[in-house]
Amino acid sequence: MTQSVIRYSPRSRVRATKEFLRQFLSRGGAQFGILCLVLFLILAAMPNMLVGPLETAATATGDYLATPSSQHLLGTDEVGRDVLNLVVHGSRISLTIALLATAISLILGTTIGLMAGYYGGRVDVWLMRLTDFFFVMPSFVLALVITPVVLEVMGRGREILGFRPSLFVIIVVIGMTSWAFVARIVRSQTLSLRERTFVDRARVAGSSNFGIMVSHILPNLVPQISANGALVVAGAIYVETSLSFLGLGDPLQPSWGTLLALAQRTGAASAGAWWYLGAPGICALTVSLSFVLIGNGLDDTFNPRRRVIP
C-alpha cells in the first residue's frame, strides 16, 4: 500500500501553530518560565537604561557592605558598589555566555548525531565512542580542566571577536563539552527516520545524502532539539556560574558567578551580607529553573504520551 504525501496549506500551518501555542501556554510551569525569562532578557538588553552604567570601585556611591535601603535596594558590596547594578549588568554576561555556548552545543550535537544515525556502520561506531567519552565525563569537570589551559595559551590581554579571552574561552569550552546528550537524542531519532518511506522516495528522486539529512530528516528533529536545547541552556548557566565562582571569569565583566566569587572572598556569609550572596545566586537559580520548565513544557507539548489528561 502506497503512502501519500501530505501537503499542508499556509492556513493549516497557522492553525497548527496556534494549537501548539495554546497547549504549550496552558501549562503553568511553561508560563512561569517564559515570564521569568522575558524579565531577565529585558534586564540583559537594557542594563544601562535600567540601573545606569556598570559601577566600578572608582564610581561606587555606597558604603562597605551596606544593608538594602531605598538608595541601594540590594545593598552594596565590599567597595560600595550597588549590588542591584552589578546583578543587572551580570545578567547580560551570564545569559550571553549560556546562549552562545548552547548554540555551539546544539550545532555540534545535532551534526554528530545526525551523521552517526544516518550513515551507521563505522561512522556510527567512531562518533558514538567519542560521544560516550563526553557523555560519561561531566561537562563541568572537562570545562574545569580545559579552561585554564586554553586561557594560558591565549593570554588574558587579547580580545577575540569583541569578547575578552576569558569570556570567549568559557563560551567555546562549555559548548564543546556539553553536546553529548543532544547527539544521543538526535542519533536515536535519526535511526528511526532514515527507515521511513519519505527518505526512500528522496533517494529514488536523486537527493544526495546531505540533502536528505538537511531537508528531510533535520526538520523532523526540531521538536526534540528545541526541547532539549532549553535544558542545555540551564546546564550551561550552571557550568558558567561554577567556573566564574572558581575564578575563571572576567572580573572586568562580572557575571553572576563572578559576583558569587567576590562575595565569598569578601566573607559576605560570615559578615551577614546575605544580599551579596543571595541576589546573584537567586538570579542564576531562577533562570536555570525557567529554562527547565520551558524545556519540560515543550517536551510535554511535542510528545502526546507525556500529556496529562485531566
Assigned domain for 127 exists: yes
Cell numbers that stand for 288 in this block: 536555570
The enclosing domain of 153 has a CATH number of 1.10.3720.10
- Partnered with residue 190 across adjacent β-strands are none
3-state DSSP assignment of residue 76: strand
Cell numbers that stand for 210 in this block: 546531505
> CA-based angle 78:79:82, to the nearest 5?
90
Assigned domain for 299 exists: yes
Assigned domain for 18 exists: no
Q: What is the pLDDT of residue 165?
A: 56
Whether the per-residue pLDDT at 63 is higher than 50: the answer is yes
d(CA 28, CA 156): 44
> CA-based angle 303:305:306, to the nearest 5?
75
Mean of the per-residue pLDDT values of the chain: 83
Asked if residues 114 and 218 have their Cβ atoms less than 8 Å apart, the reply is yes
Handedness of CA 224, 226, 227, 228 (dihedral sign): positive
Cell numbers that stand for 16 in this block: 497548527
Q: What is the mean pLDDT of residues 90-99?
A: 90
The candidate with the shortest Cα–Cα distance to 151, out of 167, 166, 141, is: 166
Residue 132 vs residues 10, 98, 147, 262: alpha-carbon distances, Å: 42, 23, 21, 36
Assigned domain for 282 exists: yes
The candidate with the shortest Cα–Cα distance to 127, out of 104, 146, 109, 101, is: 109
Assigned domain for 230 exists: yes
Residues 6+ apart with CB under 8 A from 142: 134, 173, 177
Assigned domain for 59 exists: no
How many distinct structural domains can be found in the chain?
1
Assigned domain for 248 exists: yes
Assigned domain for 302 exists: yes
Q: What is the mean pLDDT of residues 232-252?
A: 84
Whether the per-residue pLDDT at 163 is higher than 80: the answer is no
Q: What letters, b where the CB count within 10 A reaches 16 and e where it falls short, cover 162-191?
A: ebbbbbbbbbbbbbbbbbbbbbbbbbebbe
d(CA 248, CA 128): 31
Q: What is the domain range of residue 181? A: 26-40+78-306
Place of cell 503512502: 3
Whether the per-residue pLDDT at 5 is higher than 70: the answer is no
HEC string of 144-177 equals HHHHHHHHHHHCCCCCECCECHHHHHHHHHHHHH
Structure confidence by residue, pLDDT tens digits, 231-241? 889 888 988 88
Structure confidence by residue, pLDDT tens digits, 9-35? 566 667 767 777 788 778 778 889 999
Q: What is the mean pLDDT of residues 92-119?
A: 92
